[in-house]
C-alpha cells in the first residue's frame, strides 16, 4: 500500500480546529452578510482580518520561528476546506499562504524575520505578482526584467491578476535577472513597495467577490532582492504547488457544501406531487455528485500525505493529480447543483451559483485542469523514463 491509515484521519486537534473555523464563518460570515462585504472595498472587513489573526489562521502556514503556528499541509487543508464551505473571500490565500510561502521557501532568513511576524499577526499583507500576459499558467515564462542601478534593482514589465494587490503592503515580484523569456534559470524574486513610483495598478473585482490587479512596472525600484539572484523559480513553484493544494482543499469544501444543500433541496422541493428527489433521473445525478465529492476528499488526503513525505517530484504529481480530479469534479458538482435546483439557483440570493463562481475562479488559478494534466503527463513520462520500467515500479 502506498499510504497508511493515518493519511486519512484528521487528528483530534485538526477536527476541533475545523469545527471552530466552520462555527466562526457560520456566525460571522453568513451568506447574506457576505454579499454586502464583497461588494464593498476592499472586499473584506478589517475586523475579520484581525479576528483571523487572533484565531491563528493568518499564521497557520508560517513557521514558528517567524511568529507563525508552523502548521503542516494537513492543517492548512482543514482551514481551506472550511473556507471553501463558507465562501470566504479574503487575502488569506494569496497573502498568507502563497506569498508568505514563497518568502519562506526562498530561504532568505533576514527578510523572513523582518516581514513574516507581522504578516502572521495580520499587520502586513503581501501579494505575489508572478503571472504575465504571455505566460498563461507557466511561472517560468517571465518577460519582466530587473536590472541593477547602483545600490538598487529596477523592475520593468507587466504582471496580471495579482490577487488582492489592492490592499497589499508589500509585493513579491518575479523578474528575470538573466536568460531568455522561457528559461527556468535566471529568475529572481524581489520585494517591492506597491506605492513606489513607476508602478501603475489596475484594480478590479474577480467573479467570486475577490480582488485582483494588473500591474505595470516602469523602472520601479525594488526594496530588496529576495534570496539568491537567479534562484527565484524553485521557491515560486514550491509556493504555487502549496497554494494549489490549498485551493484543491477549498474546492473540496465548496463541493461538499453544494452536495449537502442540493441533497436537502431535492428532498423538499415538490413537483408533480412528490419530492423531485424521488425521480431516479435525479437520484443518479445526485449519486454522481456524491461520488465526485468523495473522490475530491481522497485527492486532498493524497496531496497532503505526499506533501508530508517531502519528495519534490511526488509532491508535484500529487498536487497536479488533485487539481485535475478536483477541478473537473468541482465543475460538474457546481453545474449539477444549479441544474438540480432549477431557476432558483440562477438568482443572486441563493448561494449555489456563487459556489460555481468560486470553483470556476479556482480552476483559473495556479494552473487550470488542462495545465495540470499536461504537467502530470510530463512528470509521468519523466518518472517512467527514470525507472526504466514503469510497470514494475508501479506495482511495488
Partner 1 sequence: MRADEPLPDLEAFRSEVRSFLRENLPHDIRERVKRGCNDFTTAELRDWMAVLAHRGGWSCPNWPAEHGGPGWSHAQKYIFEREYALNHCPKLPNGGSAMLGPTLMHYGTREQKNRFLPDILTGKTFWAQGYSEPNAGSDLASLKCRADRDGNHYVINGSKIWTTGAHTSQWLFGLFRTDSSGRKQQGITFLMIKLSSPGITVRPLPMFEGSDELAEVFFDDVRVPVDQCVGEEHDGWNVSKYLLSLERFGAAHIGTTTARLDRVKELAATTPVGEASLLDDPVFANKLAQAEIELRALDVTEQRFLLGSSGAEAAMLKIRGTEVQQMVMELLVEVAGVHAQLAPDTGQEDRPRHAPAGAEYAAHGYFHFRKTPIWGGSNEIMRNIIAKAVLGL
Residues making contact with ligand FAD (CB under 6 A): 269, 271-272, 276, 279, 281-282, 339-340, 342-343, 346
Compute the distance between CA of residue 385 and CA of residue 366 in angstroms, rounded to an integer: 27
Nearest approach in angstroms of CB 11 to partner 1 is 35
What mask of x and - would describe binding to partner 1 in positions 245 to 284, judged by CB under 8 A?
A: -------------------------xxxx--x--x-xx--
Q: Around Cβ 385, how many Cβ atoms within 10 Å?
A: 9
Question: Is position 204 an interface residue for partner 1 (rule: CB under 8 A)?
Answer: yes
Residue entry with cell 464563518: 25
Q: Around Cβ 157, how many Cβ atoms within 10 Å?
A: 21
Among 75, 108, 214, 241, binds partner 1 (CB under 8 A): 214
Question: Is position 216 an interface residue for partner 1 (rule: CB under 8 A)?
Answer: yes
State the binding partner of 184 from partner 1, ligand FAD, none, CB within 5 to 8 A by kind: none
Of 137 and 279, the one with the shorter C-beta distance to ligand FAD is 279
Query: What grid cell was written down for 109?
Result: 532568513
Buried b / exposed e along 98-136 (16+ C-beta atoms within 10 A)? bbbbbbbbbebeebbebbbbebbbbebbbbbbbbbeebe
Query: What grid cell was written down for 41?
Result: 472595498
User: CA distances (Å), 47 to each of 37, 52, 62, 74, in order?
Assistant: 12, 9, 21, 27
What mask of x and - would describe binding to partner 1 in positions 344 to 383, judged by CB under 8 A?
A: -xxxxxx-xxx-xx--xx--xx--x-x--xx---------
**CA angle, corner 284, sides to 250 and 329, nearest 5?**
25
Nearest approach in angstroms of CB 59 to partner 1 is 27
Compute the distance between CA of residue 330 and CA of residue 293 in angstroms, rounded to an integer: 8
State the binding partner of 290 from ligand FAD, partner 1, none, CB within 5 to 8 A by kind: none
Nearest approach in angstroms of CB 180 to partner 1 is 10
Compute the distance between CA of residue 111 and CA of residue 281 in angstroms, rounded to an integer: 58
Compute the distance between CA of residue 125 and CA of residue 44 in angstroms, rounded to an integer: 13
Our measurement of the distance from residue 86's CA atom to the centroid of its chain's CA atoms, rounded to an integer in Å, reads 15
Enter the DSSP assignment of 34.
H
Among 136, 147, 284, 309, binds partner 1 (CB under 8 A): 136
State the binding partner of 138 from partner 1, ligand FAD, none, CB within 5 to 8 A by kind: partner 1
Stretch that binds partner 1, among 51-59, 102-110, 113-121, 210-218 (CB under 8 A): 210-218
Question: Is position 182 an interface residue for partner 1 (rule: CB under 8 A)?
Answer: yes
Strand 274-275 relative to strand 270-271, pairing: antiparallel
Of 72 and 342, the one with the shorter C-beta distance to ligand FAD is 342
Nearest approach in angstroms of CB 141 to partner 1 is 7
Residues of this chain that bind partner 1 (CB under 8 A): 131, 133-134, 136-138, 141, 158, 160-161, 182, 200-208, 210, 212, 214, 216, 270-273, 276, 279, 281-282, 331, 335, 338-339, 342-343, 345-350, 352-354, 356-357, 360-361, 364-365, 368, 370, 373-374
Amino acid at each position: 500500500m502506498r499510504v497508511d491509515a493515518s493519511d486519512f484521519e484528521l487528528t483530534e486537534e485538526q477536527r476541533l480546529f475545523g469545527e471552530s473555523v466552520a462555527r466562526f464563518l457560520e456566525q460571522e460570515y453568513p451568506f447574506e452578510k457576505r454579499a454586502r462585504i464583497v461588494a464593498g472595498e476592499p472586499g473584506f472587513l478589517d475586523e475579520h482580518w484581525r479576528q483571523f489573526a487572533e484565531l491563528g489562521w493568518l499564521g497557520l502556514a508560517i513557521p514558528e520561528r517567524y511568529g507563525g503556528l508552523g502548521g503542516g499541509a494537513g492543517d492548512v487543508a482543514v482551514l481551506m476546506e472550511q473556507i471553501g464551505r463558507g465562501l470566504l473571500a479574503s487575502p488569506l490565500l494569496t497573502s498568507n499562504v502563497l506569498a508568505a510561502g514563497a518568502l519562506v521557501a526562498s530561504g532568505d532568513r533576514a527578510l523572513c524575520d523582518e516581514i513574516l511576524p507581522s504578516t502572521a499577526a495580520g499587520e502586513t499583507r503581501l501579494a505575489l505578482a508572478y503571472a504575465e500576459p504571455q505566460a498563461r499558467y507557466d511561472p517560468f515564462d517571465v518577460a519582466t526584467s530587473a536590472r541593477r542601478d547602483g545600490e538598487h534593482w529596477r523592475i520593468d514589465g507587466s504582471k496580471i491578476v495579482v490577487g488582492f494587490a489592492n490592499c497589499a503592503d508589500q509585493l513579491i515580484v518575479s523578474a528575470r535577472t538573466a536568460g531568455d523569456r522561457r528559461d527556468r534559470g535566471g529568475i529572481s524574486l524581489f520585494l517591492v513597495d506597491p506605492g513606489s513610483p513607476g508602478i501603475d495598478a489596475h484594480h478590479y473585482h474577480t467573479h467570486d467577490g475577490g480582488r485582483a490587479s494588473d500591474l505595470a512596472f516602469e523602472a520601479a525600484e525594488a526594496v530588496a532582492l529576495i534570496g539568491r539572484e537567479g534562484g527565484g523559480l524553485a521557491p515560486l513553484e514550491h509556493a504555487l504547488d502549496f497554494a494549489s493544494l490549498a485551493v484543491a482543499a477549498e474546492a473540496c469544501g465548496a463541493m461538499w457544501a453544494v452536495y449537502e444543500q442540493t441533497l436537502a433541496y431535492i428532498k423538499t422541493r415538490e413537483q408533480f406531487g412528490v419530492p423531485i428527489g424521488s425521480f431516479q433521473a435525479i437520484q443518479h445525478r445526485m449519486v454522481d455528485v456524491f461520488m465526485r465529492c468523495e473522490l475530491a476528499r481522497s485527492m486532498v488526503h493524497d496531496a497532503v500525505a505526499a506533501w508530508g513525505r517531502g519528495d519534490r517530484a511526488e509532491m508535484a504529481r500529487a498536487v497536479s493529480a488533485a487539481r485535475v480530479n478536483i477541478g473537473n469534479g468541482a465543475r460538474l458538482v457546481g453545474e449539477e447543483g444549479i441544474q438540480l435546483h432549477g431557476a432558483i439557483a440562477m438568482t443572486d440570493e441563493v448561494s449555489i451559483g456563487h459556489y460555481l463562481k468560486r470553483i470556476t475562479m479556482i480552476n483559473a488559478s495556479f494552473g487550470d485542469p488542462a495545465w495540470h494534466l499536461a504537467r502530470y503527463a510530463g512528470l509521468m513520462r519523466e518518472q517512467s523514463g527514470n525507472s526504466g520500467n514503469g510497470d514494475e515500479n508501479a506495482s511495488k
